[in-house]
Structure 1
Amino acid sequence: MKRQHFVALLLVSVAGLAAFKTIETRVIKKRFFSGNEPTGTVYIIVDKSDYELQVYDEEGWYATYPVVFGNKDLNDKMVEGDRKTPEGTFKIISKRPHEKWHKMLMLDYPNPESIAKFNQRKAKGLIPKNAKIGGGIAIHGTWPNDNLVVDDFTNWTNGCIAVKNDDLDELEAYLPIGTKVIVRR
């Protein structure tokens, strides 16, 4: 085979693999691709830089779901109204339907960790003395039939974590109240 043809074939193969990987990472991935539910204690890691919500159970990795956030700036939430998603360790405190966003898995933000970080930032002068911490952070769905906002990485929330509605139905079914949620960048 001529070198030019080999290089062209190699580039096409690499490009195809990259496209496949991109598509693959935006689709639900499950251990063994079966309908088995997670076993034992379940926890979540939300990786803001990868736009992923990963579910782990006692056997390790279970599933990955695509997510989006509030602000394009993926830094930690600083103050109420900045549309940034807070980083830290939280837990699901309630699950309920929502008239706009399908369902809500409410997180315990602000929790003591968040309040301590907020107060340290105030003391260092990183945020105004009169700033408020905000609240009402959740993992929630999208407008009906609007999965495109997740597929094309559109950060549109006020700081929440948005997931496709079908994915949220699945998560809500097997994530109990009290599930640990780690949000990081």
Structure 2
Amino acid sequence: MWLGRIFLMLAVVLGLSACGGSKFRTYDGPEVTSIQVHKSARKMYLLHNDEVLQTYDIALGRVPEGHKQFEGDGKTPEGTYWIDRRNPRSEFHLSIGISYPNEADRAYASSMGKPPGGDIFIHGHTGTKNPRTGKKNRGDWTEGCIAVKDREMEEIYAMVRNGTIIHILP
């Protein structure tokens, strides 16, 4: 009887450890030299030079068409930026920051008397509950960020380094 309990406890412990618990992965493949986001196709590509390493389905800002111009417009920026920061404690699982706004974005918003906004990230939580609203995320739902599934974000977080160029296309 006690042997059966020990076996059962051992099976539970091994089963739980096999689930992996860490959201921090390692990556030792080819360097990600750039990221391309194709907003109209809802796709993001991680590239090593001209070779596509990974492809992801994405969600965008709640107003997906057009370039982000002002804080609160719900649009995802368009243009060339770079990855400029990492947030391992993101409320959206993990996130990597995009360098929006650039000088031109700030100048345009200023000329219109509005702030350009900021805090644009690639982050997790597609298809799960939004920690801010408690509602299930469907379709385009962010305030201008690019969202992927949590497990995909773990992979992206491991693969992409600060300084990586990101091209966000209409």
2:149 to 138, 141, 164: 164
Cα–Cα, structure 1 residues 65 and 73, in superposed 2: closer, same or farther, change >3 Å?
closer
In the alignment, is the contact (CA less than 8 A) between 2:32 and 2:159 conserved in 1? no
Structure 1 residue matching 2:41: 3-state secondary structure: coil
In the alignment, is the contact (CA less than 8 A) between 2:106 and 2:115 conserved in 1? no
Residue deviations 1:78-105, cap 9 Å, x none?
Answer: 2110010011111111112235200110
Structure 2 residue matching 1:166: 3-state secondary structure: helix
In the alignment, is the contact (CA less than 8 A) between 1:100 and 1:143 conserved in 2? no
4+ residue segments displaced more than 6 Å: none
Identity of aligned residues (%): 31
- Give unpaired runs (5+ residues) of structure 2: 1-26, 131-135
> Residue 114 of structure 1 corresponds to which residue in structure 2?
105
> Residue 43 of structure 1 corresponds to which residue in structure 2?
34
Structure 1 residue matching 2:157: 3-state secondary structure: helix
Cα–Cα, structure 1 residues 99 and 138, in superposed 2: closer, same or farther, change >3 Å?
closer
- Give unpaired runs (5+ residues) of structure 1: 1-35, 123-128
Structure 1 residue matching 2:67: 3-state secondary structure: coil
Quote how far apart the aligned CAs of 1:183 are: 0.6
> Residue 7 of structure 1 corresponds to which residue in structure 2?
none
> Residue 133 of structure 1 corresponds to which residue in structure 2?
116
TM-score (norm 1): 0.66
Distance 1:57 1:97 in 2: 24
Letter in 1 for 2:118: G
Distance 1:143 1:62 in 2: 21
Q: Which has the higher helix share?
A: 1
Letter in 2 for 1:139: I
1:179 to 159, 164, 169: 164
In the alignment, is the contact (CA less than 8 A) between 2:61 and 2:144 conserved in 1? yes
Aligned length: 139
1:67 aligned to 2:58?
yes
> Residue 95 of structure 1 corresponds to which residue in structure 2?
86
Question: CA-atom RMSD, angstroms?
Answer: 2.5
